[in-house]
Amino acid sequence: MAKINPFSNFVYRLHSFNLTYRSLVSWWKNSVLEKEQYHIGLRKGSGCANAIMVETPAQVRQIATYFKDYQIMADHREYLSIMVRLQSKNFLVISTGIGTPPIAIGMEELSIVGIKNFIYLGSGKPLHSKLKENDILIVKAAAKEDGTSQEYLPMLIPAVANIELINAVRKTFKQHAIGFHVGITATVDIDPYHIPEAIPLQADYDQQIQRFKTANIAAIDRACAGVYAVATKLHKPACCILQMGEAESPISETLIKCLPELSI
């Protein structure tokens, strides 16, 4: 009978069951964490704590131009990253494309380079009668009707915002006298503003929209569930803010003005 080696048994337990030790070894040995991230083009230490994610490079440039003092950090694929420098704090503005797949990729890599808080500024189509074009909606949760968020979270786990970050956003908006709504959205893969006249399963889609309205869902978007699902997986706070209207529309300057204060 083979003799049990107490030291080998201890090492096995250390490697297999001590999550802190495994995380340390992964960080120590994994050179990927030190490299320039493939999609966003940033490396660890080149960012800051807070990221403002928007849909398009044009919106990134709009925000950077407003604050004037900025530095282009990277420009690769749909991910244009600009560091905005202010006396109070710096923050990173990055375009993450439209739809949950590129948003998930961007958030994963941003987390690796050191981002701690995620604010997403996007667009949505209002379903609730109180919401009008250009209104601002703070999204407290999102129904996972897209593909990506369901890959990150099982259907029984909701995609929700960080309550502290939501409260910080609400407080900032009130201080700046910015009107806003708070509600739930449904994140889908198809552009709600450009539905073809005849799509497969059109009747099912129409019934789905009616169910959203019955459930008091405020708007349809193509990002929020993905943002919250990835943030849950990364253990990072996130909050989505939608401006009602078509994707790629310019961001309200009133909203841009208060961006430096949207953090916890």
Q: What is the secondary structure of the chain as a DSSP string?
A: -PPP-HHHHHHHHHHHH-HHHHHHHHHHH-GGGGSPPTTT---TTSS-SEEEEES-HHHHHHHHHHH--EEEEEEETTEEEEEE--SS--EEEEE--SSHHHHHHHHHHHHHHT--EEEEEEEEEE-STT--TT-EEEEEEEEE-SSHHHHHS-TTS-EE--HHHHHHHHHHHHHTT---EEEEEEE-SS-TTS--SS-TTHHHHHHHHHHHHHTT--EEESSHHHHHHHHHHHT--EEEEEEES-TTPPPPHHHHHTGGG---
Picking from 15-19, 67-71, 175-179, which range would have the lowest pLDDT averaged per residue? 15-19
Give the pLDDT score at 204.
78
Give percent above pLDDT 90 in the chain: 72
Confidence of residue 224 (pLDDT cuts 50, 70, 90): very high
Q: Do both 135 and 237 map to the same domain?
A: yes
Q: Do both 159 and 50 map to the same domain?
A: yes
Give the pLDDT score at 109.
95
Counting the structural domains of the chain, the total is 2
Task: Name every residue whose Cβ is closer than 8 Å to that of residue 34 and which is 6 or more positions away in sequence.
Answer: 43, 44
Q: Do both 49 and 179 map to the same domain?
A: yes
Q: Do both 69 and 109 map to the same domain?
A: yes
Confidence of residue 205 (pLDDT cuts 50, 70, 90): confident
pLDDT digits over 158-168, tens only? 999 999 999 99
Q: Do both 118 and 140 map to the same domain?
A: yes
pLDDT reading at 176 higher than 80: yes
Q: Do both 135 and 197 map to the same domain?
A: yes
Q: Do both 17 and 106 map to the same domain?
A: no
Q: Which domain holds residue 182?
A: 35-261
User: How far apart are the C-alpha atoms of 139 and 186, rounded to whole Å?
Assistant: 10
Q: Do both 12 and 41 map to the same domain?
A: no
Picking from 13-22, 89-98, 134-143, which range would have the lowest pLDDT averaged per residue? 13-22
For the whole prediction, is pTM greater than 0.75?
yes
Confidence of residue 190 (pLDDT cuts 50, 70, 90): confident
